[in-house]
Amino acid sequence: MGNDFRRKTLDGLEGLDKNQKRMLFKRASKARRAAAYFKTSKKDEGWDGSDDAPSVERNVRRRKDSIGDWAARLLAQEGARAEAGGDETAVPGTPALVVGVGPGTCRAVVENEEVDARLSVEEGLAPGDDIRLADRGGGWEVVEVMPRRTRLSRPDPFLGHVEKVIAANIDVVAIVASAAQPYFRPRLVDRFLIAAAYGGATGLVCVNKADLMTPVDRTVLDAQLQIFRNAGSPVAVVSAESGEGLPELRQFLSGKLAAFVGQSGVGKSSLVNALDPSRKIRVGEVQERSGKGKHTTTGSALLQLQGGLRVIDTPGIRSFGLWEISARDLSSYFPEFAPHVPQCRFRDCTHDHEPRCGVREAVERGEIPQPRMFSYLRILESLRGKREGKVER
């Protein structure tokens, strides 16, 4: 990067406030990592189209460029776009809400009207993002992404060092599980609860298909759910088929933006249909041999439902990695551990193998449920690099 270009573009940083600088350098860091990946990759296989990072590499091929160089380049790109569009189309632009994201474009609501907008190479949007658009003459273009209040994210399935935001600015993460077909898997629920808490949202354990349970099934499930209740997580048992629990679910979600997440086949789309019968989202069946669901929702979408409900319906998943959760921090996401941590002999106790561990002693006394400890140890093992990304069963 030439000295004159560097000086001119970096001078533009002086006109940005602290938050704008933070967002710019975050985008620059992401673009630099993505370009380095695609420079060494012979194929673009696996790229899901949420970012146009291959285009970044065509513009700048020198991997040694600093993040400051990338920030300057992005700043120059925005300045060039603003000059091409004229002063009337410069930022801050028109406020909009992202309701869906596709390859190189996003679907957004502008003044109660849905429009398509082009994405810049550095954007990594998700439903729920607040953005600003500018009309460049040939259509809308995203010119600014506002800071996120909350988010639900995971490591990108193909670029593990890159954050993949599933939903933004959400109040609730409704972790939809199934009472039967497929059966309830509490350890996968734990992973979603941790991700929700990390991103600043409330995790709701929502068990669907209550109509398929026998009295014995209900007794077993209630014991499992009581563990989550005791840990402070709200719980809902519902049936999209019979309507059981739907009034209470509507009341809980009223006035909030909720992301519906969970494995395939648990009935997320069926629940959305039940909450708003006028909206018929395609639903799938469960495969008899594997007990696993089939993907019917192919992309996350923010939906406005009857009664003012707002839901982000997401595709089913079979594995869920945790983003930026360290082994050292994991125990803080298990609130029932907190009263017993001071009794640990070592301040950096991982509650795994250390002697005189207050948490393990509490498990032995029955003060912490064994299933919670087992779930903690499984996730701890994955964070140490042994199982990350595999389905918790």
Residues 198-220 have pLDDT tens digits of: 999 999 999 999 999 999 999 99
pLDDT tier for residue 60 given thresholds of 50, 70 and 90: very low
Q: For residues 269 and 21, what is the distance between their CA atoms, to the nearest angstrom?
A: 39
Q: Is 173 part of any domain?
A: yes
Average pLDDT value for the chain: 80
> Which pLDDT score is estimated for 252?
96
Same domain, yes or no: 293 and 157: yes
Question: What range does the domain containing 197 cover?
Answer: 151-313
pLDDT at 89 over 50: no
Q: For residues 166 and 158, what is the distance between their CA atoms, to the nearest angstrom?
A: 15
Residues 234-261 have pLDDT tens digits of: 999 999 999 999 999 999 999 999 999 9
Q: Is 130 part of any domain?
A: yes
Same domain, yes or no: 291 and 346: no
> What are the tokens at 181?
């077909």
Same domain, yes or no: 266 and 339: no
Of 145, 179, 201, the domain-final residue? 145
Same domain, yes or no: 23 and 135: yes
Q: What percent of the chain has a predicted confidence (pLDDT) above 90?
A: 54
Query: 285: closest CA among 301, 262, 261, 269?
Result: 269
Same domain, yes or no: 272 and 362: no
Same domain, yes or no: 287 and 156: yes
In this structure, which amino acid lies at residue 141?
A: E
Q: Is 323 part of any domain?
A: no
> Which pLDDT score is estimated for 158?
81
DSSP alpha helix (H) spans, the chain: 3-11, 18-40, 53-59, 67-85, 186-199, 215-230, 246-253, 268-275, 358-364, 370-383
> How many independent structural domains does the chain possess?
3
Q: For residues 12 and 45, what is the distance between their CA atoms, to the nearest angstrom?
A: 37
Same domain, yes or no: 163 and 290: yes
Q: What percent of the chain has a predicted confidence (pLDDT) above 70?
A: 71
Residues 134-173 have pLDDT tens digits of: 987 778 999 999 999 999 999 887 877 888 999 999 999 9
Same domain, yes or no: 302 and 340: no
pLDDT tier for residue 182 given thresholds of 50, 70 and 90: confident
Query: 122: closest CA among 137, 107, 142, 139?
Result: 142
Q: Is 391 part of any domain?
A: no
Could you tell me the pTM of the whole model? 0.72
> Which pLDDT score is estimated for 261?
96
Q: For residues 391 and 321, what is the distance between their CA atoms, to the nearest angstrom?
A: 9
Q: For residues 204 and 158, what is the distance between their CA atoms, to the nearest angstrom?
A: 28
Residues 292-300 have a mean pLDDT of 56
Same domain, yes or no: 99 and 210: no
> Which pLDDT score is estimated for 289?
43
Q: Is 63 part of any domain?
A: yes
Query: Which H helix or E strand runs over 260?
Result: strand 257-261
Same domain, yes or no: 185 and 71: no
User: Distance from CA of residue 92 to its chain's centroid?
Assistant: 26
Q: Is 250 part of any domain?
A: yes
Same domain, yes or no: 111 and 18: yes
Q: Is 390 part of any domain?
A: no
Same domain, yes or no: 171 and 99: no
Residues 2-53 have pLDDT tens digits of: 555 555 555 666 667 666 676 677 667 766 665 554 344 433 333 333 333 3
Residues 328-333 have a mean pLDDT of 92
Q: Is 319 part of any domain?
A: no
